[in-house]
C-alpha cells in the first residue's frame, strides 16, 4: 500500500507556512524550546510538545499525535467496480492518476496523467474500455507530464481548470457537468494549493468518488501555495461535506474516505468538531 504523503513534520511545516509562523514564534507561543521544535519537525514523537504546538497552528492534537505514533492509516480501498489507481514516479515523488468507467458500457475517463500513462492505457485496452475524457485536476507538471502521449493514444477530449490553461485542453469552470455512460461527473473548484485546483465528483458507481488532485491527502492536504486560508475552506466546504462513504482519490498517497478524514485529518478534525457544537 502507498505510504502516507506527509509525516507530522510535513504537516507542522505546511501549517506554519500557511499561517506565516516562524519556528521561534511557534516555540514561544507553544511554550517549547527550539530544539524540541526541530525534533518535532524531524519526526520525534513527543506527544506533550505536539499537544502544545497543535492549537497554535489550529491543528487537532489527537489526530496529530495519532499520526506521530503511526496508529492510523486509511483502510484499504477495494478498487473493483469501475475505478483504478495508477502510481508513477515523477523525479523524487510518487504521483497518482485514476481511471473511472461505467461497467455497463465500458466508457471511461482518465483523471490526470502521472509521469507515465502507459500502464493506464494498457489497462484500458485489456479491459476494453473506451477512454472518452481526460480531466485534469490542476496543471502542475507531475499531474500533466504525459498528456501529449495519452491524448494521442486515446483520442479523448481534454479538460482543465480555466484558471490553469494547458495547451490542447479546454478550460472549464466550477459547475461543469460530464456524463460518462450512466455516470455523472460534477466539478468543484477547490483552489488554494494551485490557482485553479478542481475536484471531480463521480456518482453512479457503488460509492461516490472524489478525485481531488492535491487539494487533500490522507491525513493531510496540499500546501496552500496560493492561499492557505482558501485551501482549508474549500476542502471543508466542497469535499468534506460529501457523504462519509465517498472515496477520496488524491494526487499523492493512498486513497481514503470523507468519513476517515473528518475524524483523522489534523487540519480539519478540530474545525469540524467546532462546527458541530455550534
pTM of the model: 0.96
Per-residue pLDDT for the chain (278 aa), expressed as one digit of tens each? 789 999 999 999 999 999 999 999 999 999 999 899 888 888 888 899 999 999 999 999 999 999 999 999 999 998 888 999 999 999 999 999 999 999 999 999 999 999 999 999 999 999 999 999 999 999 999 999 999 999 999 999 999 999 999 999 999 999 999 999 999 999 999 999 999 999 999 999 999 999 999 999 999 999 999 999 999 999 999 999 999 999 999 999 999 999 999 999 999 997 776 665 45
83-258 domain in CATH 3.30.460.10?
A: no
- Calculate helix-pair angle for 34-41, 8-19, nearest 10 degrees: 120
What are the domain boundaries of the chain?
8-69, 83-258
pLDDT score for 38: 86
Do the domains spanning 8-69 and 83-258 agree at the CATH topology level? no
93: number of Cβ within 10 Å: 12
What is the maximum alpha-carbon separation in the chain?
61
Which of 231, 196, 201, 236 lies closest to 215 in space, CA to CA? 231
Contact assessment for residue 203 and residue 236, using Cβ atoms and an 8 Å cutoff: no
DSSP state of 137: S
Homologous superfamily of domain range 8-69:
lambda repressor-like DNA-binding domains (1.10.260.40)
Amino acid at each position: 500500500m502507498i505510504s502516507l504523503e506527509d509525516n507530522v513534520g510535513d504537516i507542522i511545516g505546511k501549517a506554519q507556512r500557511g499561517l506565516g509562523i516562524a519556528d521561534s514564534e511557534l516555540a514561544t507561543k507553544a511554550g517549547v524550546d527550539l530544539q524540541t521544535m526541530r525534533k518535532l519537525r524531524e519526526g520525534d514523537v513527543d506527544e506533550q510538545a505536539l499537544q502544545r504546538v497543535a492549537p497554535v497552528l489550529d491543528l487537532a492534537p489527537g489526530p496529530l499525535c495519532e499520526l506521530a505514533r503511526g496508529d492510523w492509516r486509511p483502510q484499504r480501498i477495494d478498487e473493483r467496480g469501475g475505478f483504478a489507481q495508477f502510481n508513477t514516479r515523477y523525479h523524487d515523488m510518487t504521483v497518482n492518476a485514476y481511471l473511472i468507467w461505467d461497467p455497463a458500457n465500458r466508457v471511461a475517463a482518465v483523471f490526470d496523467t502521472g509521469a507515465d500513462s502507459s500502464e493506464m492505457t494498457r489497462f484500458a485496452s485489456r479491459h476494453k474500455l473506451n477512454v472518452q475524457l481526460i480531466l485534469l485536476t490542476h496543471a502542475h507538471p507531475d499531474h500533466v507530464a504525459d498528456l501529449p502521449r495519452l491524448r494521442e493514444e486515446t483520442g479523448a477530449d481534454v479538460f482543465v481548470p480555466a484558471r490553469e490553461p494547458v495547451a490542447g485542453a479546454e478550460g472549464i469552470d466550477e459547475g461543469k457537468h460530464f456524463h460518462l455512460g450512466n455516470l455523472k461527473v460534477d466539478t468543484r473548484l477547490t483552489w488554494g494549493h494551485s490557482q485553479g485546483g478542481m475536484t471531480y465528483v463521480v456518482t453512479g458507481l457503488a460509492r461516490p468518488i472524489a478525485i481531488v488532485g492535491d487539494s487533500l491527502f490522507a491525513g493531510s492536504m496540499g500546501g496552500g501555495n496560493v492561499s492557505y486560508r482558501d485551501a482549508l475552506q474549500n476542502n471543508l466546504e466542497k469535499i468534506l461535506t460529501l457523504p462519509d462513504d465517498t472515496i477520496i482519490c488524491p494526487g499523492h498517497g493512498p486513497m481514503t474516505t470523507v468519513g476517515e478524514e473528518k475524524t483523522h485529518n489534523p487540519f480539519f478534525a478540530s474545525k469540524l468538531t467546532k462546527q458541530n457544537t455550534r
